[in-house]
Structure 1
């Protein structure tokens, strides 16, 4: 499965400009004929502008129409990062996923909200994990801070996910955590982690940057796509036989002890 990861520089609150940026990078990605295009977190508004509720997409309508039409036009699967999504008087950090026909396969509301940045003061937390199939491959998704909760990714692995997508707006100052967590989740769950992060100033502050380092990590913890700091599209291929190989030699799922713990 060929995957293209969009590592974009986004502008806070500048929704129209962000749509243009994302569309241009997605169109660039199609020249490499990927099976899946993956976007970063909150690509419509960037992360937590003060006016996020006003800038949010009502029921995700504009974002959903754009992603669906793009997937259909280019016959490519799209893991739509996430967008600020207003449902009634509540705000959600929602990821939408589309198949090659432009059909919406799943919607995931971020479950773990980043309290140090008061994300939980803006958004409502999601209540359920999500799995879906892309070209017959079982996949799951987590968003940014979710990656710090190993039990959340383990739940996806126990639901037979072979690839876990992780869109994010992760700061460069914590790139060591980002890199380590992605590799740890891949190793401990013996699956592929595909992470898509933003790159560029946080809230216009040139001294505070989103960390880039989007990657594809295999079940051994090795990089298929190596992290970097450059804005653009990153390409890599997932070889699912690697999962079969590691599980035949070190099958942690056979050796689990759910009789003595709940996870």
Structure 2
């Protein structure tokens, strides 16, 4: 059974979660009208990314937050699964998180960013993720990564070895890192034989510019859909049968020799 995925590349609603939820409602409706099963949105979509530590803490949500309840209700109302980023309250700190919510409004998976990018991330987020969870959905196994995480080959490889067929990557990619959008994402898809949905911001927030260039890539490294620099809703249909053929033709994961790689984690 195929799966249709949509990515919303957007300027978002900086530091305004209520406006972001309204934008999500309209975008989810539009994506579902185009027969999308899953809508992926950028890193920290609910608040914007370039918040600074004080706003990040003020706007952070717990998993029981009424705003997250509204987001879950949007998934139910439109019958579409959602993946989106938000600052999450975790004990006494804040994490850069993303949630996967199914079309019934249930939270299937919550992921916390593991690799923090420079002082920008470290100033806002005291809590890091500690693993690479996956979840079964609609006949596929899904995993999440956030922005800088996917630039480490170990992230995608760990998810692939855990059984991931599709990796969802909310991101906030900025200049001068075009190489990530143009080359790293297709490479990660190819070397792990997974689908990747890479959802970026566009425009700017409080002086920080974003590249756009969101994409959906196939397990053979082909770019199935890609946005330019501005706002866009891109879509692609994922075919698990094609993925199975790719994996049978070139059994990259089976041909690994992990006993020779132990020094990589020493």
TM-score (norm 1): 0.92
For 2:62 and 2:107, locate their aligned partners in 1 and report how far apart those are by CA, in whole Å. 17
Structure 1 residue 63: deviation in Å? Answer: 4.0
Q: Counterpart in 1 of 2:57? A: 53
Distance in structure 1 (CA, Å) of the matches to 2:13 and 2:81: 25
- Deviation of 1:95 after TM superposition, in Å, equals 1.0
SS in 1 for 2:57: helix
Partner of 1:76: 80
Determine the C-alpha separation between the residues in 2 that align with 1:228 and 1:67.
27
Q: 1:14 to 1:102 in 2, by over 3 A?
A: closer
Q: Which residue of the partner structure matches residue 127 of structure 1?
A: 130
SS of the equivalent of 1:97 reads strand
Equivalent residue number for residue 175 of structure 1: 178
Contact 2:32 2:79 in 1 (8 A): no
TM-score, L = length of structure 2: 0.91
Q: Is the 8 A contact 2:82 2:102 kept in 1?
A: yes
Question: Do the aligned partners of 1:60 and 1:86 also contact (CA within 8 Å) in 2?
Answer: no
What is the CA–CA distance in structure 1 between the aligned matches of 2:114 and 2:108, rounded to whole Å? 19
Comparing 32-41 with 173-182, greater Cα deviation is found at 173-182
Judged with a 3 Å threshold, the aligned counterparts in structure 2 of structure 1 residues 6 and 91 are, in CA distance, closer, same or farther, namely: same
- The match for 1:221 is 221
1:245 is matched with which residue?
Answer: 245
What's 1:194 paired with?
A: 197
Q: Once the 2 structures are TM-superposed, how far is the Cα of residue 226 of structure 1 from its aligned partner?
A: 2.2
Residue 59 of structure 1: how far off its partner (Å): 4.1
Which deviates more from structure 2 when the two are superposed, residues 119-128 or residues 62-71?
A: 62-71
Partner of 2:26: 24
CA contact (8 A) 2:28 2:80 kept: no
Is 1:48–1:119's contact at 8 Å kept on the other side of the alignment? no
* CA 1:48–1:226: 2 relative to 1, 3 Å: closer
Partner of 2:144: 141
Distance 2:178 2:23 in 1: 24
Partner of 1:256: 256
Structure 1 residue runs of 5 or longer lacking an equivalent are none
Q: What is the CA deviation profile of residues 59-104 of structure 1, one whole-angstrom value per residue up to 9, with x for unaligned ones? A: 462342123212222222222x210112332101111111222111
CA distance in 2, matches of 1:167, 1:65: 20
Deviation for aligned residue 1:118: 3.0
The CA deviation string for residues 147-180 of structure 1, in whole angstroms up to 9 with x for no partner, is 1111111011001111111110111431222221
Root mean square deviation, CA, Å: 1.7
